[in-house]
Amino acid sequence: MENPVIDLKGLTKCYGSLKAVDDLNLKIEKGEIFGLLGPNGAGKTTTILMMLGLTEPTSGNALVCGIDATTHPILVKRKVGYMPDSIGFYESMTALENLIYTGKLNGIPENEAHQRALDLMDLVGLDDSANKRTSVFSRGMKQRLGLAEVLIKRPEVIILDEPTLGIDPAGVKEFLSLIRQLSREQGLTVLLSSHHLHQVQMVCDRVGIFAAGKMQMEGNIHELSRTLFDEDSYSVSVTVREPLPACWEYSDELRNIRDVRELHITENLVRIACASDVTPDIVRFFVAKGLDVMGVHKKEFGLDEIYQKYFDNHLIENNTNEKSRSIFKRYFNKK
Partner 1 sequence: MKSLAVFSKGTSIKSKPTAATAFRVMVDKEVADHIRSWRLILLLVLLVLTFLGALYVSLSNIRVAVSNTQDPDSTFLYLKLLTTTDGTMPTFHVFLNFLGPLLGIALGFDAINSEQNNGTLIRLMAQPIYRDNLILAKFASALILVGALFFTLVLLMIGAGLCITGVWIEPVEVLRIFTFAVLTVVYVGFWLSLSILFSIAFKQTATSALAAIGVWLFFTVFYQIVVNLVIGALVPRQAILTEADIVGYNEMVLNILRLAPSQLFSDATTTLLMPSVRSLGPMTMEQMAGAIPAPLPFTESLMVVWPQLSGLLAATFLCFAYSYYLFMRREIRS
Residues that bind partner 1 in the complex, under the rule CB under 8 A: 45, 49, 52, 54-56, 74-75, 77-78, 80-82, 84-92, 101-102, 104-109, 112, 115-116, 119-120, 122-123, 146, 149, 151, 153-154, 177-178, 181-182, 185-186
54 vs 275 by CB, closer to partner 1: 54
- Least distance to partner 1 from the beta carbon of 320, Å? 28
CA 307 – CA 173 distance, rounded (Å): 21
CA dist 173 and 159 (Å) reads 18
Inter-CA distances, 76 with 32, 82, 169, 191, Å: 18, 11, 33, 15
Helix (H, G, I), strand (E, B) or coil at 166: coil
* Contact between 89 and 101 (Cβ < 8 Å): no
Question: Which one, 146 or 213, has the nearer CB to partner 1?
Answer: 146
Pick the closer one to partner 1 by CB: 160 or 306.
160
**CB of residue 73 to partner 1, shortest distance in Å:** 8
109 versus 295: smaller Cβ distance to partner 1: 109
CB of 210 to partner 1, least distance (A): 17
Q: Letter for the amino acid at 85? A: D
Closest distance of CB 79 from partner 1, Å = 9
Distances (CA, A) of 166 to 34, 171, 216: 21, 10, 28
Burial (CB < 10 A; 0-12, 13-18, 19+), residue 322, is exposed
How many residues in total does the chain contain? 335
| Least spacing, CB of residue 32 vs partner 1, in Å | 18
Residue number with CB closer to partner 1 (134 or 235): 134
